[in-house]
A = this chain, B = another copy of it.
């Protein structure tokens, strides 16, 4: 099944292939096939034997081709979506960029800063942006409304941010380090974009451990303090076994007021001596619209303007370097500097 956009008789849809058909891959395949416009899902590939076929079968997408690997798929597509495992991101991205294809790469861009630099190098040759990293929060209405309020000066200059990234529960193989690389990574990206500033240093503090986390030898919660170049102090509480819900909070303290991220709505109940609303338990519901908007935006920028404006390889590199500094601070308990290469004019 596919959609075709025709303007003046000319087909305008983006031919796209997906690399990796795991959980997030499958979600994006559904989006591409049934919800988004101006895109044609040409093919998929997966390193796990038989998984691609199973996913397509489950979704009733018998017309989508299964390729043996990403390299084989490249000639048939305009763009590649990378939803493979994190360690494979860099290699797949480099294949695609070297073939001159557009790339949508789920976060993280790569697992090392070095690989991020290689990707930037590969993209540079074309003198235009070819790659977007899947930091979907920038496409969330709430964050956008918050950013607009900050930019309009509603609360004056931002001085402090206080954020929470809480999950009710994580898998048993989650580790202390993954609270940074898998959880905090979203805040690392969205917050420097939100306040249009760069990170100077980071510090990770370990509060008293939760008994649940202790059992799986993980430190949870953690408090991360990020300082920006202009001096803004960002405090993020990460807590991935908080039990009560998936809760994303962001308060920006400005010189003259505080602006806070909207909470998801629900019906309000008065029942049994309580007034209450619902907190989401499932992270997938929280940013479900943002995912749609993000990928439609990726498609439409390419189809309409032949370039990209979303989170870039440079943003992926910032995230990698900053996460590395946090992981170092986990070990040293010290303030760690965030040291970036010079920003290429290109971005």
Contacts from A to B (Cβ < 8 Å): 1-8, 34-35, 37, 62-63, 142, 145-146, 149, 154-155, 157-160, 162, 168, 205-212, 221, 223, 225, 230-233, 235, 237, 239, 242-245, 247, 253, 255-281
Cβ–Cβ contact B159 & A207, under 8 A = yes
Instruction: Tell me the smallest distance from the CB of A65 to a CB of chain B, in Å.
Output: 15
Cβ–Cβ contact A269 & B155, under 8 A = yes
Instruction: Return the contact of A265 from the options B37, B142, B267 (Cβ within 8 A).
Output: B142
Cβ–Cβ contact A267 & B159, under 8 A = no
Among residues of B, the one whose C-beta sits closest to the C-beta of A203 is: B205
Cβ–Cβ contact B159 & A221, under 8 A = yes
Given contacts A2-B6, A207-B232, A244-B272, 17 further A-B contacts (CB under 8 A): A1-B7, A3-B5, A155-B271, A160-B239, A162-B237, A206-B231, A243-B256, A244-B257, A244-B273, A244-B274, A257-B269, A258-B269, A258-B270, A260-B268, A262-B265, A263-B265, A273-B280
Cβ–Cβ contact B269 & A157, under 8 A = no
Q: In the assembly, what is the distance between CA of A121 and CA of B303, in Å?
A: 48
Q: In the assembly, what is the distance between CA of A5 and CA of B13, in Å?
A: 13
Contact residues in B for A257 (Cβ distance below 8 Å): 242-244, 269-272
Q: A3-B3, A6-B2, A211-B157 are in contact. Are A279 and B269 (CB under 8 A)?
A: no
Contact residues in B for A62 (Cβ distance below 8 Å): 8
Instruction: Return the contact of A159 from the options B8, B208, B270, B275 (Cβ within 8 A).
Output: B208
Q: In the assembly, what is the distance between CA of A44 and CA of B34, in Å?
A: 26
Contact residues in B for A231 (Cβ distance below 8 Å): 206-209
Q: A63-B8, A230-B208 are in contact. Are A281 and B271 (CB under 8 A)?
A: no
Contact residues in B for A221 (Cβ distance below 8 Å): 159-160, 253
Contact residues in B for A232 (Cβ distance below 8 Å): 207-208
Instruction: Tell me the smallest distance from the CB of A276 to a CB of chain B, in Å.
Output: 4
Q: In the assembly, what is the distance between CA of A231 and CA of B210, in Å?
A: 11
Contact residues in B for A63 (Cβ distance below 8 Å): 6-8
Cβ–Cβ contact B237 & A160, under 8 A = yes
Cβ–Cβ contact B268 & A265, under 8 A = no
Most interface-central of A4, A162, A210, A276 (chain B CB within 10 A): A276
Contact residues in B for A271 (Cβ distance below 8 Å): 154-155, 244, 256-258
Instruction: Return the contact of A275 from the options B2, B149, B276 (Cβ within 8 A).
Output: B276
Q: In the assembly, what is the distance between CA of A210 and CA of B279, in Å?
A: 30
Q: A62-B8, A160-B207, A223-B235 are in contact. Are A275 and B265 (CB under 8 A)?
A: no
Among residues of B, the one whose C-beta sits closest to the C-beta of A9 is: B63
Q: A4-B3, A37-B34, A160-B221 are in contact. Are A270 and B255 (CB under 8 A)?
A: no
